[in-house]
Structure 1
Amino acid sequence: MARNLILVGLMGTGKTTVGRALGAKLGWEQMDSDQWVEEKTGSPIPTIFKDKGESYFRDLEAEALQEICERENQIVTTGGGAPIREQNRRLMKEKGMVVALTADYETILKRVRGDENRPLLQGNLEERVAHLMEQRKGLYDFADLIVDTTGKDVEKIVEEILDGVRHQ
């Protein structure tokens, strides 16, 4: 088994929920890079974006991944934009098996609707989700395994991931 299982994907694909379930199944701790940033700064991510900007947040996110990935036998859940930086993609590949979660437009829209903690979705939700999906197309292709979460319950997704891990 890989040293870490690192979940990447667009917001609303189920990284946090699936990460928790994977951690419980394997007896591994789940570490979330967004949570790390919030605990480190004492500020919610939307506030960081508003006050300091996206670039500052991406610096903190890279620092979070660096620190989190020093440990092993954990599920690492990342923010949707974590793979934007090449250094983050390299680190994730080096420190574990990267699993990209995907979902179709309608599923993502349903999952993120009403969530005020997503600074990149301010404004017209439908347009923002469509734009992010287009902007990040191909971003997660570096992953070792890609799992579509559309129409599947958490247990099914966890089994798919574990099957994929066993066959790597």
Structure 2
Amino acid sequence: MMGTGKSTVGAVLAEMAGYRLIDLDKRIEEEMSCTIPELFANQGEQYFRDIESALLRSVLQESDVVLATGGGAVLREENRLAMLENGWVVALTADLESILMRVGEDPGRPLLAGGAREKVTVLLEERKHAYDFAHVKIDTSGKNPDTLASEILMHYRGQSK
């Protein structure tokens, strides 16, 4: 889900693990030479999701990477399967107030246009089970990125024994 700390925690985790961080939304913007809001406005969400899926499959073939996806990447079953087949998946969650504090009325988030509180509430309800496939779920509410990255590493190391 947006605003749960994927990019921020991902950067700290990548540094701790000695891996590279790939932020899928940033990779999409680089590949398409435009912003995600521009993609949504000019091509529509379906087009964006198609590009997201293609780039996700490509990035999952790289090694020594912490990948931060957009919150909607998991909405397609093909993406969930690809993530499970090619990586170890952590779903970051947060409560409504934490998400709103982090994203506010960010114009860079096209899914929030027209009222962040209402839209986040609806998205949380619609996606409440979308992240259940992950190997581990971690609530980021009220926690700092260093603590969260350490927690993720602990889970990862514990499962790989």
1:65-91 per-residue CA deviation (whole Å, 9 max, x = no partner) reads 011111111100000100101110000
Runs of 4+ in 1 over 6 A off after TM superposition: none
1:2-151 mapped onto 2 (5 Å cutoff): 10-151=1-142
Whichever structure has more helix as a proportion of its residues is 2
Q: Distance in 2 between matches of 1:123 and 1:114?
A: 9
Q: How many residues align?
A: 159
Measure how far apart 1:164 and its partner are.
Answer: 0.6
CA RMSD for the aligned pairs? 0.7
The one-letter code matched in structure 2 to 1:108 is: I
TM normalised by structure 2 equals: 0.97
Matches of 1:154 and 1:35, distance apart in 2: 20
Q: Which runs of 5+ in 2 are unaligned?
A: none
- Kindly, what percent of the aligned residue pairs are identical? 47
Provide TM-score, normalisation by structure 1: 0.93
Residue deviations 1:79-121 (CA, integer Å, cap 9, x gap): 0100101110000001110000000000001000142110000
Structure 1 runs not aligned, ≥5 long: 1-9
